[in-house]
Structures are given as C-alpha cells and as structure tokens.
Amino acid sequence: MSDPTRFIPVPTPETAHFWEGARAGELRLQRCADCRKAYFPPRAFCPECGSREVRVERASGRARLYSYVINHLPAPGFTAPYAIAVVELEEGPRMMSNILDCPQTPEALVLDMPLEVTFERLSDEISLPQFRPAKGRAA
C-alpha cells in the first residue's frame, strides 16, 4: 500500500524514537521527569519547563476527536472529501490525524467521540499514526 504520491515524513535524530515506535505499532510520547507533563511533537527536552530529564513512554492510544475539517480540495494520495482532524490524546497532547474506518461526514464525525490509534503503513520505514472510532465504546 506504499503510495508514491503520499507525502512521507523524514525522521530527524530527535524524532527517530517516535517513528521507530510507529513502525512497531506503538504510539510514543515523551514525558518530563521534572514537571511530569507528557508532550508532543518530540524533542530532547520538555517544552513546558526546559528540563532535559525526559523519557519516552508508550501512549494508551486513546484519544477524542478535538476538531476537524472535511477537505474537498484535491490532495496527492487522498480521495476528497476526507477529514483532517486534530485529536487530543488521553495523556494530554494533541496531534493531527485522519479519521479512518468512518464515513467522512459531519454526521459520523462527532466532536469528542472516542478514538483509538491505528497505523497506516506508508513505506518500509514509515508507518503513520492514525485514529479511528474506538471499538467497544459508545461513539
């Protein structure tokens, strides 16, 4: 399913752990040992307090639909209309995502609905964290 038209991210040293985790089917966050905040996107220090005492941890993968648009403009590797969303992870940080396994309509995409992480393989190196409606929970 490697799609040559999709934009493939290129990891940097500071983000490599995130993309290695995604390839292994894990959503990884970093957490500050000093102020205890979890944060995203990845970097080698805490953006809340500046501490370098940070650890990589596996996120629960649970999130809620925070905001989105349903894009009707053409985009390489995508079939419009499709949702571009921001999800809020259970741990606090927010990240961009598409919403998979769900009709791309305002009726189906309800703000605050529970979501769970899944991974979309873009290449041998890169699997993209994506979210879909949580299974076994009321939408």
Partner 1 sequence: MTPNSVAIVGAAETTELGRIPTLSQIGLHADAALNALADAGLTIQDVDGVATAGHNAVEVAHYLGIAPSWVDGTSVGGCSFMVHVRHAVAALEAGLCRTVLITHGESGRSKLGRYGPSIAPALFDQQFEQPYGVTAPPNRFTLPVLRKMKDDGLTEEQLAMVAVVQREWAAFHPRASFRDPITVEDVLNSRMIAWPFRLLMCCLVTDGGGALVLTTADRAKDFPTRPVYVRGVGEGAETPVVSQMKDFGSSAAFRTSGRLAFESAGIAHSDVDHLMIYDAFAHLPVYGLEDLGFVGRGEGGAFIAEGHTRPGGRLPLNTNGGGLSYMHSGMYGMYALQEGVRQMRGVSPAQVEGAKISLVHGVGGMFAASGTVVLSNEA
> Interface with partner 1 by CB under 8 A: which residues?
6-12, 15, 41, 66-78, 81-82, 84, 86, 94-98, 106, 111-112, 122, 128
**Pairing state between β 54-58 and 94-97:** unpaired
Q: Does 32 bind Zn ion (CB under 5 A)?
A: yes
CA-based nearest residue to 82, from 67, 65, 99, 63 = 99
By CB under 5 A, name the one of 8, 16, 35, 96 that touches Zn ion. Answer: 35
Residue 132 near residue 85, CB atoms below 8 Å: no
User: Which two three-digit tokens encode residue 58?
Assistant: 């596996």
| Binding partner of 12, given Zn ion, partner 1, none, CB within 5-8 angstroms per partner class | partner 1
Please, which residues bridge with residue 95 across strands?
A: 87
Residues 38-67 that bind Zn ion (CB under 5 A): 46, 48-49, 51
CB of 53 to Zn ion, least distance (A): 8
Closer Cβ to partner 1, 54 or 129, answer by number: 129
CB of 21 to Zn ion, least distance (A): 21
Residue 118 near residue 130, CB atoms below 8 Å: yes
**Measured on CA atoms in the order 102, 86, 83, 124, is the torsion positive or negative?**
negative
With CB under 5 A, what is the number of residues at the site for Zn ion? 7
Length of the chain: 139
Closer Cβ to partner 1, 13 or 136, answer by number: 13
| Binding partner of 56, given partner 1, Zn ion, none, CB within 5-8 angstroms per partner class | none
CB of 44 to partner 1, least distance (A): 14
Residue 91 near residue 106, CB atoms below 8 Å: no
